[in-house]
Amino acid sequence: MGRSRYRILQSQQPHFITCTVLNWIPLFTRPATVQIVLDALIYRQQQHNWRIYGYVILENHLHLLVQVDDLSHQLAHFKLYTARQLIDYLQAINAERLLKQLNWFRKAHKTDRDYQLWEEGSHPQLIDNPDVLRQKLDYIHLNPVKRGYVDLPEHWRYSSARNYAGQDGLLPVYRDWF
């Protein structure tokens, strides 16, 4: 399968983004791996002005509602950095099974590396009004509920549903829409 046909054309507006672990491998089952992603998101918020409207991190993918100038470039750097950090972590704890999977499912044209962590592309969808933003927020916040992991969206630790329910979330979200 080739590269995604989806394009980010309007970086000044939020986009719904999905980042999927290669072959849907359940990588985010350990708090340490999720923390690597959260730390990278916080860094991007603080140093690169990412405006995150919402997020959810599940065992093998994450969804973001995010806005930043040059989103394509920023997202590529986020994925590159988190892939390196996550692979380094897996090597440090000798997670051989996961590393073998990341090697085995690596795309044939990725000859410059031993492992591939993220699927290519992110299927960006432009969010151009508050109704679409609310729809996407509901979708990502209900994702863990629909999977049967929790009864209420705000019970999922790795989600902005907590922020929207008036609780402390793990990272700040931008709630002043449009």
pLDDT in tens, 21-71: 999 999 999 999 999 999 999 999 999 999 999 999 999 999 999 999 999
CB atoms under 10 Å from CB of 121, counted, come to: 17
pLDDT at residue 6 tops 60: no
Residues β-bridged to residue 18 = 63
> Under 8 Å CB-to-CB from 13, ≥6 apart: which residues?
67, 126, 127, 128
pTM score, whole prediction: 0.91
pLDDT at residue 3 tops 80: no
Paired with 16 in beta bridges are 65, 125
Query: For 158-177, how does the pLDDT look when each residue is reduced to its tens digit (9 = 90+)?
Result: 999 999 999 999 999 999 88
- Looking at the predicted structure, is the pLDDT value of residue 7 above 60? no
